[in-house]
Amino acid sequence: MAIYSLENKIILHIFAMENKFIMKNVLAFAGSNSKTSINKQLVTYASSLLNKAKVELIDLNDFDVPLFGVDLEAEMGHPENAKLLLEKIKDADGVLLSLAEHNGAYTAVFKNMLDWMSRIESKNFYGKPMLLMATSPGGRGGKSVLAMAKDRFPRHNANIVADFSLPSFGSNFSEGKIVNEELNKELNSKVELFQNTI
Ligand SMILES: Cc1cc2nc3c(=O)[nH]c(=O)nc-3n(C[C@H](O)[C@H](O)[C@H](O)COP(=O)(O)O)c2cc1C
């Protein structure tokens, strides 16, 4: 009995060690279709701060879907690219997302994809830990779209573990990284929190 319990302890310990070193899969993308997206630059930088993670950085331009409409949906069903993105979220251990802000809200391309995905699966974030970010050239750093997403995403079963806003992108970001020390420290600690959650 004593030997059995010792074996059990060893097995549990090995399992815990293996789990600690298992590579996690992270899906990263920006809520933008701009070829020079500053949010894509931010999410790329945030991805580079992760360790023990395999990051798949995708671009919404590669997930083209038609403009959502209930009539079109009745006619053609759901687009393959919306199903594909849902699968990628489902398969990931965590999601890094940086939202571009247009007129205080999601960009059309992101909202359109969200609408399609929510028709296939209303809990379309599958409870995956998420680091939610936004940046803009202005001083508010996409705070309106962040607030909107923080209110809405949990209804789609998002598990937002931290959020980060980078204001004044042009002066706070250069050559692929955040150059403002304080903001850089903030992002680093939020990435660490995300890393410890996935
Ligand atoms: C139609 C439109 C509306 C915009 N509205 C806002 C806004 O409400 N707040 C803001 O901070 N920036 C706004 N901007 C500026 C964007 O933040 C800027 O274009 C930024 O680069 C978008 O992010 P992206 O490069 O990742 O696409 C707007 C830009 C466009 C084209």
Query: What percentage of the chain's residues is helix, strand, coil (to nearest 5)?
Result: 50, 20, 30
Q: Which residue has the higher pLDDT, 23 or 89?
A: 89
Our answer on whether the CB atom of 143 is closer than 6 Å to any ligand 1 atom is: no
What are the chain's domains?
24-197 (3.40.50.360)
| Closest ligand 1 atom, residue 33 Cα | 27
The average pLDDT across 28-42 equals 98
Q: Which residue has the higher pLDDT, 3 or 171?
A: 171
Put residue 194 in one of left, alpha, beta given phi > 0 → left and psi -120 to 50 → alpha: alpha
pLDDT digits (tens, 9 = 90+) for 91-118: 999 999 999 999 999 999 999 999 999 9
Confidence at residue 10, expressed as pLDDT on a 0 to 100 scale: 55
Q: How far apart are CA 85 and CA 23, in angstroms?
A: 21
Rounded to the nearest angstrom, the distance between the alpha carbon of 136 and the centre of ligand 1 is 6
CA atoms within 13 A on the CB side of 189: 5
pLDDT band at 17 (very low <50, low <70, confident <90, very high): low
| Residue of 25, 114, 36, 106 whose CA lies nearest to 68 | 114
pLDDT exceeds 70 at position 1: no
Lowest mean pLDDT among 2-6, 19-23, 27-31, 143-147: 2-6
Percent of the chain with pLDDT over 90: 88
pTM: 0.91
Our answer on whether the CB atom of 33 is closer than 6 Å to any ligand 1 atom is: no
- CA-closest residue to ligand 1 atom 22: 100
Rounded to the nearest angstrom, the distance between the alpha carbon of 138 and the centre of ligand 1 is 9
Confidence at residue 2, expressed as pLDDT on a 0 to 100 scale: 47
Rounded to the nearest angstrom, the distance between the alpha carbon of 17 and the centre of ligand 1 is 45
Q: Which residues pair with 56 in a beta bridge?
A: 27
Confidence at residue 5, expressed as pLDDT on a 0 to 100 scale: 64
pLDDT exceeds 70 at position 8: no
pLDDT exceeds 50 at position 62: yes
Confidence at residue 22, expressed as pLDDT on a 0 to 100 scale: 78
| Closest ligand 1 atom, residue 42 Cα | 26
pLDDT band at 52 (very low <50, low <70, confident <90, very high): confident
The average pLDDT across 157-163 equals 98
**Mutation to probe ligand 1, out of 136, 166, 171 (largest number of atoms < 8 A from CB):** 136
pLDDT exceeds 80 at position 143: yes
pLDDT exceeds 80 at position 162: yes
Our answer on whether the CB atom of 170 is closer than 6 Å to any ligand 1 atom is: no
